[in-house]
Structure 1
Amino acid sequence: MSVGVIVLAAGKGSRMKAGINKQFLEIDEKPILYYSLDVFEKNNKIDFIVVVCSPDEEETIKSCIIDKYGFKKVKKLVVGGNERKDSVLNGLKVMDDVDMVLIHDGARPFINNRIIDEGIEYTLKFNCCACGVMPVDTIKVVDGERFSKHTPRRSDLIAVQTPQCFKYDLIRECHEKVNREGIEVTDDTSVVEYFGHKVYLYEGSYNNIKITTPKDMIMAKQIYENLFTK
């Protein structure tokens, strides 16, 4: 069985207000993208990696991250599209002879082997799965005037993370249909759910944050210190 990974690194990260792609911001003198790639590179269940990037950053990612740190499993760099779904489809199209694909945000540097291994295990069993965590805050459903309508139980809610994991043929077919029909989706689980497929949700990690804002960067450095320097 061949398992591939798509790492999405094409976002501009405007909310970070750093003047550069957030993938290049550093934690302990290494770019954020390095940490995501490093875990997949070292996991013996992963066969190859496709990185989706912006056209003007392709050479930088290749020379300053892939070549510099010797990531041998990164087989292809692909230019992203206008939206996330376009970027994912671009990555899917360059994969050959693959049975399963894990789709991961490059801005989630603290993915771990347990999450990867369980994602593969549950994909074999259920065809589609994603990791996530129970929200720490109470979530409210609001009406059009922003009055609270309903308070779901936190035990019924999952904040979905990545990787999101799929049988390759299934996710590619669904992404191609979404593309042809112009359907709006928020993530890859939404793509398969739109066509009636169930997604199994398993336990992620509160450390598996997506770095989006300057406050997230502060938290990421604290997580790094807790995981790797103590």
Structure 2
Amino acid sequence: MTSALIVAAGSSRRMGFQKLTASLLGKPVLRWTLEAFDNCPAIDHLVVVVSDATRELVRAWAADGMLRKPVTLSEGGAERHISVYGGLKKLPPSTELVAVHDGARPLITSDQIIRCINRAREIKAVACARPVTETLKRVDENGVITGSVDRKDTWIMETPQIFDRNLLCQAYERVMQQNLTVTDEVSAVQLLGHHVFVLENPESNLKITYPTDLLLAEQLLQARL
């Protein structure tokens, strides 16, 4: 059994308004994200980590049958790693693989979810990612460029990040016990010394962070429809 853990409890500080409820081609951003996993045949259950801004929306979608798969809600925490830890506690007992995904990544495709899941079945720890193609520079506190960063072997982490359930739970237990802060599941699992493998995503999978990202996401979605 594979469960998706969708993190939808962020405050959207950089956005200036709640990005998960913002309209994207007539539907909230979060609705696009949830539908991608709800429509994916490799996903059996949805655990959605919610905030005050998203809780009632998700409840209504589940109650109205807009989401066909079982949905469990989990309350978000002050930081992302706390939200994920709480979501892991709500997984169905039969869950073997967990696909953790940012609610603000509405462009993820069912095909990529399936590719990541199939790979995780083999190696237990997979992160959806893409190689860095831009020139990277180091900049000091005054905004002065101080040097270059070699982009060889450099990847941008995306989600979903998919793991063996026991491995990920063990990793987050260590995070919480040692009062650590991690920004993604890769970092948590690496604390155990376990290898995490990347799987390149051939499709656009941007994270909605700024208002202009909504415009770009609309263009990308329209090109797919």
- What TM-score do the two structures reach when normalised by structure 2? 0.92
Whether 2:156 is the aligned partner of 1:152: answer no
Please provide the CA RMSD for this pair.
Answer: 1.8
SS at match of 2:14: helix
Residue aligning to 2:122? 125
Q: 2:84 is matched with which residue: 85, 88, 91?
A: 88
* Counterpart Cα distance in 1 of 2:169 and 2:47: 15
* Counterpart Cα distance in 1 of 2:119 and 2:178: 29
Q: 1:223 is matched with which residue: 216, 220, 223?
A: 220
CA contact (8 A) 1:132 1:205 kept: no
CA drift of 1:147 comes to: 4.6
Cα deviation 1:100-121 (Å, max 9, x = unaligned): 0000011111111221111111
SS at match of 1:60: helix
CA contact (8 A) 1:51 1:74 kept: no
1:195-206 superposed matches below 5 A: 195-206=192-203
CA contact (8 A) 1:122 1:200 kept: no
Cα deviation 1:179-208 (Å, max 9, x = unaligned): 110112121100011221111001114511
CA drift of 1:131 comes to: 0.9
- Point out where structure 2 has 5 or more consecutive residues left out of the alignment: none
Q: 2:26 is matched with which residue: 29, 32, 44?
A: 29
Cα deviation 1:81-128 (Å, max 9, x = unaligned): 111111001110011221000000111111112211111111112110
1:90-109 superposed matches below 5 A: 90-95=86-91, 96-109=93-106
Cα deviation 1:29-72 (Å, max 9, x = unaligned): 11111111112111111110000011464223311x33345202
Letter aligned with residue 184 of structure 2: D
Letter aligned with residue 83 of structure 2: S
CA contact (8 A) 2:12 2:209 kept: yes
- What TM-score do the two structures reach when normalised by structure 1? 0.90
CA contact (8 A) 2:130 2:201 kept: yes
Q: 1:66 is matched with which residue: 62, 65, 68?
A: 62
Letter aligned with residue 152 of structure 1: D
Whether 2:36 is the aligned partner of 1:39: answer yes
Letter aligned with residue 224 of structure 1: L
Residue aligning to 1:186? 183
Whether 2:110 is the aligned partner of 1:113: answer yes
Which one has a larger percent helix, Structure 1 or Structure 2?
1
* Counterpart Cα distance in 1 of 2:135 and 2:71: 43
Whether 2:20 is the aligned partner of 1:4: answer no
CA contact (8 A) 1:143 1:149 kept: no
CA drift of 1:144 comes to: 7.0
* Counterpart Cα distance in 1 of 2:14 and 2:140: 27
* Counterpart Cα distance in 2 of 1:17 and 1:56: 14
1:158-173 superposed matches below 5 A: 158-173=155-170
CA contact (8 A) 1:122 1:129 kept: yes
